[in-house]
Structure 1
Amino acid sequence: MSIYLDEKNPEKHKPFDDASPDIVAYVRYLEVIAGKSPNTAFSYYCDLRNFSRFMKRRRGLVTDDTEIKDIDPKGLDMAFWGSVTKEDVYEYLYFLNSECGNKKSSTARRLASLHGFYDYLVNQVDLLKENPTASIKPPKQDKVLPKYLTAEQSMDLLESTQTQSDFPERDYCMVVLFLNCGMRLSELVGMDLGDIDMEQRQIRLFGKGHKERMVYLNDACMEALQIYLNKRNTMEGLNPKERAVFITRRRKERISNRRVEQLVTGAMKAAGLRGFSTHKLRHTAATLMYQTGNVDILTLKQLLGHSSVGTTQIYTHLQEFQVRAAIEQNPLGEVKKASLDTTPKETGESRGEFAVTSSDEPENDAPGGPMEAFEGAAQEGFRVDVSSLADTNEPE
């Protein structure tokens, strides 16, 4: 974790001073004027420090064999930024790919940092006349489908949080919210008690850039929250002024992002789930809602807190599931081609007919279409039997 960011106070950080003054001023602009979150500002800050190190080596300000990480990113002035050319930027992108092994998405993010920095210098503070990044486009991104848990795997994970945790009420509740609300890790950790409205069955979340949105709580979320909050509010030694919803068992303070990741990863391993991260639970929620809840892409955008529908369109691959379901449920799909094939037939052959089960065979009792198996899941939510958790909250 960054030495600058404080997980338990995500809106606070130490001063950004390990870079040139122009970069520090730009990061302050991002937070104060542009309203970017500390995480976003820090990401841009790291990108620009890395570019500073690269340019120092490229311009011969350090020896060629100096490791990038050992180069001091400070000491660059406005004259230096003005001397950067389009060729320098292209060389930097090549460096990210060849030496750093960056994925296309990471390279695009680092280019966006440079775009933003030079746009600030040219258009916001009028310190430069030319933007060397203006005409440089990011690398074309690979279309990668989001990785997510199936409904069955999600249920296994929920079971695991009850049996593999020393604080099952809390861990179960966190995973239920991830799977049903599609919230980000930072949104869950940053939740305060005042953000929850049990009467209206909703919760207020603060997403990237401190953008506020309301998320509906289904039956599974309501049940999990009631069980956990009953346990939380009766914990011995808990400071009555503690606002955080999710707290640590020992210190009775707001849980950190890293600790949540450790708990979720441990529960996944115990459930036999490999290759999934905590963020994949957000993908899982979006996927299951899109598949089973008849949720359109604009509604999903609002629920996930995306600023652009383009971000949400990663889930449009799920339309294949719904298209297949619609085709299978077409009533004309049962029409048989009985006499169209005029090819001569031999005795015993049924050429010209589709493979159809005989009327003497028992009918299939399976649901009529792929969507029916999930009917009602969107309203009730994904949960498992939590009677054992509820029992622990009753007076002895």
Structure 2
Amino acid sequence: MTWQHALDDFKMYLTIECGLTENSVLNYEFDIKKLMRYLKEFDIESPPESITEDELKDFIYTMSKVINARSQARLISGLKRFFDYLIFENLRSDNPMALIESPKIGQKLPEVLSTAEIDKLISSIDLTHPQGERNRAIIETLYACGLRVSELTNLKLSDLFFDEGFIKVHGKGQKDRFVPINSRAIKYINLYKDEVRLHQEPKPGETDILFLNRRGKRLTRAMIFTIIKQLAKSINLQKTVSPHTFRHSFATHLLENGADLRAIQQMLGHESIITTEIYTHLDKTHLKNVIDNYHPMAK
């Protein structure tokens, strides 16, 4: 079996059997192609069924010189899953990555915006611009609902249940969830929907998509990043800001104001509570106040 054939089959498996999103599958493909380029560059002809642990160790060592520890960890994890798939398909009897350990990486705490910073970002949007109402609705939705950027770009008109105060979100692994949405975000989505989007002609297949570009197609992830970067630059915000920053801020502000961690987990669509617990490390002052106010021995 050639590497390309194995990769194509693996991608099909991740998409159909595992239900991973297109972006997740692309990340796996990107890492395996690194290995394929390395093998070609050094004239190593070992196929997927027989490549050895030592050959893979040499590859990881070579990559460690050009990528950081976090990227190395992701690369190793992706390759382990690839060879697990080959075992699943009876193409190998062992995983040559099994004993290769990932580098130790510290926990990376997310960047968080204050409510004042978020208000300032929103206030900086030029509403005289044709896309101003849309961009305001996008920022309001990201912060109000804690969405991933892919969840935002795939949000549909038919996913809006404003009378009930919810939106339906299509999350990772094709798992849907209902997320509460506040009246302020509803207001700005309706303004965009009824005054701007109403006059657009969606492209075929995009009729139900909420947020459209000027050509009537759904926005790309890259475009959302660009919108946010430009807003941050316009107010000289000295923080690294991305669509995910609003998701982090959503979760952190809920936690700081007393929301239950399990409820936050459900709204974020985290499969494990451990993923959500990263937010408990953001504000030690808040956690100390919880003990001081609620622990019976602290009275």
TM-score, normalised with respect to structure 1: 0.68
Percent identity among equivalent residues? 26
2:211 is equivalent to residue 246 of structure 1: yes
Give per-residue Cα distances to partners, 1:299-334, cap 9 Å, x unaligned: 22211112222222221213513233246658x9xx
Shift of 1:178: 0.9
| Whole-Å separation in 1 of the counterparts to 2:84 and 2:113 | 40
Match of 2:51 among 65, 81, 84: 84
Q: Is the 8 A contact 1:162 1:172 kept in 2?
A: no
SS at match of 1:131: coil
Shift of 1:201: 1.0
In the other structure, the counterpart of 1:153 is: 117
| Whole-Å separation in 2 of the counterparts to 1:234 and 1:187 | 22
SS at match of 2:199: coil
Give per-residue Cα distances to partners, 1:192-225, cap 9 Å, x unaligned: 1001111111101111222111100112212222
| Whole-Å separation in 1 of the counterparts to 2:284 and 2:128 | 36
2:150 is equivalent to residue 186 of structure 1: yes
Shift of 1:19: 5.3
| Number of residue pairs the alignment of both structures matches | 294
Shift of 1:263: 1.4
In the other structure, the counterpart of 2:78 is: 113
Match of 1:41 among 25, 42, 53: 25
In the other structure, the counterpart of 1:26 is: 10
Q: Which structure has more helix as a fraction of its residues? A: 2
Q: Is the 8 A contact 2:145 2:250 kept in 1?
A: yes
Q: Is the 8 A contact 1:290 1:318 kept in 2?
A: no
Q: Is the 8 A contact 2:197 2:212 kept in 1?
A: no
Q: Is the 8 A contact 1:164 1:267 kept in 2?
A: no
In the other structure, the counterpart of 1:231 is: 195
Match of 1:93 among 25, 50, 60: 60
CA change 1:37–1:287 in 2 (3 A) is same
Residue type of the alignment partner of 2:231: A
Shift of 1:147: 0.8
Residue type of the alignment partner of 2:174: H
Shift of 1:164: 7.9
SS at match of 1:27: helix
Residue type of the alignment partner of 2:6: D
Shift of 1:55: 2.8
Q: Is the 8 A contact 1:201 1:217 kept in 2?
A: yes
CA change 1:93–1:299 in 2 (3 A) is farther
In the other structure, the counterpart of 1:285 is: 250
CA change 1:174–1:118 in 2 (3 A) is same
Give per-residue Cα distances to partners, 1:137-186, cap 9 Å, x unaligned: 32222122111111111111111124585422111111011112110111
In the other structure, the counterpart of 1:317 is: 281
Q: Is the 8 A contact 1:291 1:318 kept in 2?
A: no
Kindly report which structure 2 residues correspond to 1:162-173, keeping only aligned pairs within 5 A, or say none: 162=126, 165-173=129-137
In the other structure, the counterpart of 1:218 is: 182
In the other structure, the counterpart of 1:389 is: none
Match of 1:143 among 107, 110, 126: 107
**Structure 2, unaligned runs of 5 or more:** none
SS at match of 2:163: coil
In the other structure, the counterpart of 1:259 is: 223
Task: Output the aligned Cα RMSD.
Answer: 2.6
Q: Is the 8 A contact 2:280 2:287 kept in 1?
A: no
| Whole-Å separation in 1 of the counterparts to 2:199 and 2:265 | 37
Residue type of the alignment partner of 1:167: Q
CA change 1:33–1:327 in 2 (3 A) is closer
| Whole-Å separation in 1 of the counterparts to 2:113 and 2:54 | 44
Q: Is the 8 A contact 1:265 1:278 kept in 2?
A: no
Shift of 1:133: 1.1
Residue type of the alignment partner of 2:18: A
TM-score, normalised with respect to structure 2: 0.89
SS at match of 1:136: coil
Q: Is the 8 A contact 1:291 1:321 kept in 2?
A: no
